[in-house]
Structure 1
Amino acid sequence: MVTLRPARPTDAGTTGQILHQFSQDNDWMPDLHSLAETISFCGTMIDRGWVTVAEVDGQVEGFMARDGEEICSLYMSRRGRRRGIGPQLLATAKSVCDRLELKTFEANRGAQRFYRREGFVETARSDGSDNDENLPDVTYLWTKADKKEPSV
């Protein structure tokens, strides 16, 4: 069973490890930050109140960082992947926002498939000159479907 909750400062280490592991697992991802720097970055997002963690059996297996309508991060541990945690985290954001926007790297084909499955549509592409990694990225947008009044 997955439990979602707001992240606590003590979750910075685990969320940082999950994020750092992602960069280690993908050859196309440049190695720009140490584990300590990544943990610090996650701690900053947690301090800002952006992070929701997903726990399975008391262990953090994934997290999402959201600043208003922007999904800043959505990552799973190796164990947490393909267990339905990502859709659950997105559902929490969709329940409080009428619109969500995010960027993913062009090289991250799995993320692109995931977001399209979750109802996001591509709105833009960039050459990567605006991100730290200098990797081409894709912008996705989700909007809550308008509810039509029933015909009488």
Structure 2
Amino acid sequence: MSNIRKANIEDINRVMDIWLQANLEAHNFVDPNYWKDNFAVVKQEIQNADVFVVEIKNEIVGFAGLKEDYLAGIFFDQKVRHQGLGTELLNYLKNRYPQLILDVYQKNRAAVNFYQKNGFKTIQEKEYQNQNLNEYQMMWKSGEK
């Protein structure tokens, strides 16, 4: 049984551990140093975001970070992936936000498929900053099928 709650400052180290590990595992097409080099910036930014954590037996196993209706990402510890927790967290967010927008690497097929399965539609394709990688911008709106 999982519990979802708003994160607090004491959660930051565990959240960042999950963020780094999940990005390294999910994005084998990105230089690992990119994530490591941006760790401190993300740690600072995440403290200004709305972060919701998923706990199992009082251990944080995943989280989502948002700025307004922009979903910066959903991240889970590898040991609990593919157990429905991502969908549970996404449904929690859908009950609190009238729309959600996100960017996802096109090469991250598992994430693209996950978001499509959960009602997100591609609204734009774009090249990601300086990395020669393409992204989809996807959106979910309450009431749309």
After TM superposition, the score normalised by the length of structure 1 is 0.83
Q: Which runs of 5+ in 1 are unaligned?
A: 147-152
Question: Offset at 1:118?
Answer: 0.5
2:139 is aligned to 141
| Partners of 2:21 and 2:132 in 1: CA distance | 19
Aligned-residue identity in percent: 20
Measure, in 1, the Cα distance between the counterparts of 2:131 and 2:73: 15
Pairing of 1:110-149 with structure 2 (within 5 A): 110-129=110-129, 133-145=131-143
Structure with the larger strand share: 2
Q: Say if 2:101 is the partner of 1:101.
A: yes
The answer (yes or no) to whether the contact 2:2–2:54 under 8 Å persists in 1 is yes
Task: State the match for 2:22 in structure 1.
Answer: 22
Distance in 2, matches of 1:72 and 1:3, equals: 21
- TM-score for the superposition, normalised by structure 2: 0.87
Q: After superposition, give the CA deviation of every residue in 1:49-92 in whole Å (9 maximum; x if it has no partner).
A: 41000001111111001111110121111012112111121112
Q: What do residues 13-38 of structure 1 show as CA deviations (whole Å, max 9, x unaligned)?
A: 11111111123223202221428x52
Letter in 1 for 2:17: Q
Deviating above 3 A after TM superposition, structure 1's stretches of 4 or more consecutive aligned residues are none
For 1:78 and 1:22, the matched residues in 2 are separated by 7
- 1:14 and 1:133 map into 2 onto residues whose CA distance is 28
Aligned residue runs from structure 1 range 30-69, under 5 A: 30-31=31-32, 32-34=34-36, 38=39, 41-42=42-43, 44-45=45-46, 47-69=47-69
Larger Rg belongs to: 1
When the two chains are superposed, the root-mean-square deviation of aligned CA atoms in Å is: 1.9
Question: Does the aligned pair in 1 maintain the 2:64–2:71 contact within 8 Å?
Answer: yes
Note closer, same or farther for the CA distance 1:99–1:84 as it changes in structure 2 (3 Å cut): same
Partner of 1:76 in structure 2? 76
Q: Kindly tell me: are residues 58 and 39 of structure 1, through their superposed partners in 2, closer, same or farther at Cα, counting changes over 3 Å? A: farther
Separation (CA, whole Å) in 2 of partners of 1:23 and 1:91: 22
Aligned residue pairs: how many? 142
Say whether the 8 Å CA contact 2:6–2:51 is kept in structure 1.
yes
